[in-house]
Amino acid sequence: MVTIMTNLLMQQFVTGLKSRHAEVRSKAARDLYHYVKTELREVSVEELTSFMDEFNHHIFEMVSGSDVNEKKGGILAIVCLIGADVGNINTRISRFANYLRNLLPSNDTGVMELAAKTVGKLALVSGTYAAEYVEFEVKRAFEWLGGDRNEGKRHAAVLVLRELAVSMPTYFFQQVQQFFEMIFNAVRDPKPVIREGAVEALRAALVVTAQRETAKQTQKPQWYKQCYDEANNGFDEIYTREKGVNRDDRVHGSMLVLNELLRCGNVEWERNYEDLMEKLQYQQNHQATDAISLMPRLKSPLTAKSQHVKGNLAVVISPVGNHLALYESAACRQLMTEHFEDICRDVLNQRPARSSYIQHTLLTILPRLAAFNKETFVKMHLAASMQYLLGSLRGREKDRCTAFTTIGLIAVAVEDDIKPYLPRIMEVIRVSLPSKETPSKKRGTSLEPAVFVCITLLGHAVKLMIRSEVKDLLEPMLATGLSPALTTALRELAASIPQLKKEISDGLLRMLSYVLMHKPLRHPGMPRPPPGSSLSHNQSLEVQDVPSIVLALRTLGSFNFDGHSLLQFVRRCADHFLNYEQQEVRLEAVRTCSRLLRLALQSATNRHSDTVTSTVADVLEKLLVVGITDTDKRVGRCKKTAGEQSCDHGLTLVQETCREQLEAIDQLKAYITTHTKQMATIHKRFAFLQIQTLLDAEKDDFINEQIQHTYIKYTELNTAAMIA
Q: What is the pLDDT of residues 148-191, one digit of tens each?
A: 999 999 999 999 999 999 999 999 999 999 999 999 999 999 99
pLDDT at 579: 83
Query: In this model, does residue 325 exceed pLDDT 90?
Result: no
Compute the distance between CA of residue 643 and CA of residue 591 in angstroms, rounded to an integer: 9
Query: In this model, does residue 678 exceed pLDDT 60?
Result: no
Query: In this model, does residue 677 exceed pLDDT 70?
Result: no
pLDDT at 572: 86
Closest CA to 211 of 221, 196, 200, 201: 221
Could you please report the per-residue DSSP string of 178-217? HHHHHHHHHHT-SSHHHHHHHHHHHHHHHHHHHHT--TT-
Compute the distance between CA of residue 502 and CA of residue 500 in angstroms, rounded to an integer: 6
The phi and psi torsions of 314 (rounded to 5 degrees) equal -165, 165
* The residue count for the chain: 724
pLDDT at 524: 53
pLDDT at 437: 65
Q: Which of 223-227, 261-265, 366-370, 632-636 has the lowest mean pLDDT?
A: 632-636
Per-residue pLDDT band at 328 (split at 50, 70, 90): very high
Question: Of 380, 411, 440, which closes a domain?
Answer: 380
pLDDT at 686: 45
pTM recorded for the entire structure = 0.79
11 in a structural domain: no
399 in a structural domain: no
Distances (CA, A) of 194 to 141, 188, 365: 14, 9, 19
Q: Which of 242-246, 387-391, 584-588, 595-599 has the lowest mean pLDDT?
A: 242-246
Q: When comparing pLDDT for 208 and 652, which is higher?
A: 208
Best-predicted range by mean pLDDT (253-257, 448-452, 697-701): 253-257
Per-residue pLDDT band at 500 (split at 50, 70, 90): very high
498 in a structural domain: no
Task: Give the chain's domain count.
Answer: 2
Closest CA to 443 of 418, 470, 411, 475: 475
Hey, is 518 helix, strand or coil?
Answer: coil
Q: What percent of the chain has pLDDT over 90?
A: 51
Distances (CA, A) of 131 to 126, 179, 219, 369: 9, 17, 28, 39
**Mean pLDDT of the 550-566 span:** 87
pLDDT at 553: 92
718 in a structural domain: yes
Looking at residue 331, the DSSP 8-state letter turns out to be H
Question: In the beta sheet, which residues pair with residue 314?
Answer: 293
Distances (CA, A) of 459 to 55, 196, 364, 412: 56, 32, 20, 9
**Mean pLDDT of the 50-70 span:** 93
Angle at 421 between CA 416 and CA 426, to 5 degrees: 105
Query: In this model, does residue 278 exceed pLDDT 80?
Result: yes
What letter represents residue 173's amino acid? Answer: F
Residue 245, Cβ density class (10 Å: 0-12 exposed, 13-18 middle, ≥19 buried): middle
202 in a structural domain: yes
What is the CATH number for 218? Answer: 1.25.10
Compute the distance between CA of residue 285 and CA of residue 240 in angstroms, rounded to an integer: 34
pLDDT digits (tens, 9 = 90+) for 83-131: 676 667 778 889 999 999 999 999 999 999 999 999 999 999 888 889 9
Hey, is 314 helix, strand or coil?
Answer: strand
324 in a structural domain: no
How far, rounded to the nearest angstrom, does the alpha carbon of residue 200 sit from its chain's CA centroid? 19
**Mean pLDDT of the 585-599 span:** 83
What letter represents residue 222's amino acid? Answer: Q
pLDDT digits (tens, 9 = 90+) for 621-667: 776 666 565 555 544 444 444 444 444 444 444 344 334 333 333 44
Maximum Cα interatomic distance, the chain, rounded to a whole number of Å: 96
Query: In this model, does residue 132 exceed pLDDT 90?
Result: yes
**Mean pLDDT of the 678-697 span:** 42
Q: Does the CA dihedral 498-502-508-513 come out positive or negative?
A: positive
**Strands (E) located in 329-456:** none
Query: In this model, does residue 507 exceed pLDDT 70?
Result: yes
Per-residue pLDDT band at 311 (split at 50, 70, 90): very low
672 in a structural domain: yes
Question: Of 363, 380, 397, which closes a domain?
Answer: 380
> Is-contact 482 541, C-beta < 8 A?
yes
222 in a structural domain: yes
Mean pLDDT (the chain, rounded): 79
**Neighbouring C-alpha atoms within 13 Å toward the C-beta of 519:** 11
Question: Of 319, 351, 380, which closes a domain?
Answer: 380
What residues make up the domain containing 201? 88-305+329-380
Residue 450, Cβ density class (10 Å: 0-12 exposed, 13-18 middle, ≥19 buried): buried
**Mean pLDDT of the 311-330 span:** 56
Compute the distance between CA of residue 148 and CA of residue 143 in angstroms, rounded to an integer: 9
Distances (CA, A) of 210 to 214, 302, 327, 373, 475: 8, 11, 6, 21, 48
> Is-contact 559 507, C-beta < 8 A?
no
Helix segments in 604-632, DSSP class H: 610-629
